[in-house]
Every structure is written in C-alpha cells, then in structure tokens.
C-alpha cells in the first residue's frame, strides 16, 4: 500500500520528508541501539538532506549507506557519495558512513559492499529517489539486475550514464522496514500516474512506500 503525502511546492515537500525521516529514526532508536539508513543520489534530495542535517538527532547511533553508486573514479562530480558528502555528511557533527567502492568496477564493488552490509539484517529506512522511467536506486525497467537476489548487485547496461553501477537489490529494498520516496516536479507527473495505476515498474515492486510529492508531480492525477 502506498501512502501519499502531497505538498504545495518543492521546499514544503522536502521539509516534510525530512521531518518524517527524523521521526522514523527517533522511533527506531527508541527500540534499538543503532539505525541503518539507505540514502538516494541525484539532485532532488539535496534540500531535504539539508533540513535533515539540522535536526537534533543522536548522529553517532545512525549509520548511512548509499542506495546505489555510479562506477566513476573517486571524487567524480557525478558520484552519489560526492553529493551526499557535500549536502549532508559534511554538515553533521558525527557520521558513520559506509561507502560503495564503485571505482573498483561493478562486480568487485558489489562484492565488497555486500560484505560491508552483512551485519545489517535489514535497513530501518530506505530513502529513495525515482527516475522518470520508474527506476529506483539503479534498478531500471527491463534490466537483468532486477532478478538478482543478492543483497548488493552489479548493474550493467544502465540506460543512463554510466553504464556500470552498483545497487542495493530489489530484495534488499523489499526487506527495508520503512521506504520513503521523494518525487517532485511536472517531469514526474506521468510516471506518478502510471504508478498509481499499478503498473509493474521497479519502484512499484519494492513494497509499501511513503510518497512525498508536490502538486506539480501530482498533476494531472487526482488522488
């Protein structure tokens, strides 16, 4: 079941998503000692991450993991960890960061990241993005990676550059305790409509999602 939270504009939805994630982290830490959070790449989550960084959370108890990474050299401007460091991790007083060594190539990086998350039974929160084709993390429609059941998988022949990537698998995202997707703008309206119609897209196959969208992404759909 999808839960839809709709706000007037990009800033409102970004702040609301940050509030929601912070509340989920606090709820998690009231039950256990450590909270494991998967994070998205791309441009859309940057404002949300800034809001989240301003929360008063027990940062030393939270562990952060990119949900996917692009196979570029370290410090490449298009890498997700570069965006996350600039817009989030560098703003925190304490960080527990688990990076994907994608510079080693998809296969080796997936193997090492799989070892890195071995002790994580499940992600408490999977904060995800979504492309206009309905992909999430680096799980693209029609890609062979969709049926790979390992916890972390290499992705080849991505329709968006670079062709080689590393991603948490469909199974890992399904196992997450809470999934949050932030999607904004008119460019997402068509795919939101297809999602609401139940089309079998990668984003629609990972389980229940808490959707944070703005009015533009909703148009012309009526909830």
Helix (H) or strand (E) holding 181: strand 178-183
In a domain, 192, yes or no: yes
Q: For residue 219, what pLDDT is reported?
A: 80
Task: Tell me the mean pLDDT in the region 58-74.
Answer: 98
The Cα 205–Cα 61 span in angstroms is 30
Task: Tell me the mean pLDDT in the region 13-27.
Answer: 98
Question: Domain of 125?
Answer: 3-218
Task: Tell me the mean pLDDT in the region 72-82.
Answer: 98
Question: Is the confidence at residue 222, as pLDDT, over 50?
Answer: no
Task: Tell me the mean pLDDT in the region 61-77.
Answer: 98
In a domain, 223, yes or no: no
Cis peptide before 13 (omega within 30 of 0): no
Q: For residue 218, what pLDDT is reported?
A: 87
Please name every residue paired with 37 in a beta bridge, in sequence order, or none if there are none: 64, 125
In a domain, 155, yes or no: yes
Answer yes or no: are the C-beta atoms of 65 and 98 closer than 8 Å: yes
Q: For residue 1, what pLDDT is reported?
A: 79
Q: For residue 111, what pLDDT is reported?
A: 98
**What are the tokens at 23?**
């509340």
In a domain, 173, yes or no: yes
Number of domains in the chain: 1
pLDDT over 90 percentage in the chain: 96
Please name every residue paired with 128 in a beta bridge, in sequence order, or none if there are none: 181
Nearest residue to 134 via CA among 71, 181, 81: 181
**What are the tokens at 197?**
């119609």
pLDDT over 70 percentage in the chain: 98
Task: Tell me the mean pLDDT in the region 81-86.
Answer: 98
Q: What's the CATH code of the domain at 118? A: 3.40.50.1360
pTM, two decimal places: 0.95
In a domain, 111, yes or no: yes
Answer yes or no: are the C-beta atoms of 212 and 7 closer than 8 Å: yes
Alpha carbon of 75 to those of 71, 82, 120, 128, 176: distances in Å? 11, 6, 26, 22, 29
In a domain, 91, yes or no: yes
Q: What is the pLDDT of residues 198-207, one digit of tens each?
A: 999 999 999 9
The Cα 38–Cα 215 span in angstroms is 26
The Cα 46–Cα 7 span in angstroms is 17
């Amino acid at each position: 079941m999808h839960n839809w939270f709709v706000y007037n504009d990009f800033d409102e939805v970004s702040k609301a998503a940050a509030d929601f994630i912070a509340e989920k982290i606090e709820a998690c830490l009231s039950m256990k000692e450590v909270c494991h959070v998967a994070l998205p790449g791309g441009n859309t989550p940057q404002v949300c991450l800034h809001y989240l960084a301003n929360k008063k959370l027990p940062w030393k108890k939270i562990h952060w993991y990119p949900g996917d990474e692009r196979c570029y050299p370290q410090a490449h401007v298009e890498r997700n960890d570069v965006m996350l460091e600039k817009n989030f991790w560098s703003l925190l007083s304490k960080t527990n960061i688990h990076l994907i060594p994608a510079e080693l190539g998809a296969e080796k990086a997936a193997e090492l990241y799989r070892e890195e998350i071995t002790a994580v039974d499940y992600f408490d929160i999977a904060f995800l993005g979504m492309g206009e084709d309905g992909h999430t993390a680096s799980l693209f429609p029609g890609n062979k990676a969709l049926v790979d059941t390992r916890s972390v998988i290499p992705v080849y022949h991505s329709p968006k550059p670079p062709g080689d990537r590393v991603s948490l698998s469909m199974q890992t995202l399904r196992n997450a305790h809470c999934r949050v997707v932030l999607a904004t703008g008119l460019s997402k309206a068509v795919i939101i409509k297809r999602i609401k119609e139940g089309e079998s897209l990668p984003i629609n196959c990972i389980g229940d999602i808490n959707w944070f969208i703005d009015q533009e992404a909703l148009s012309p759909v009526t909830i």
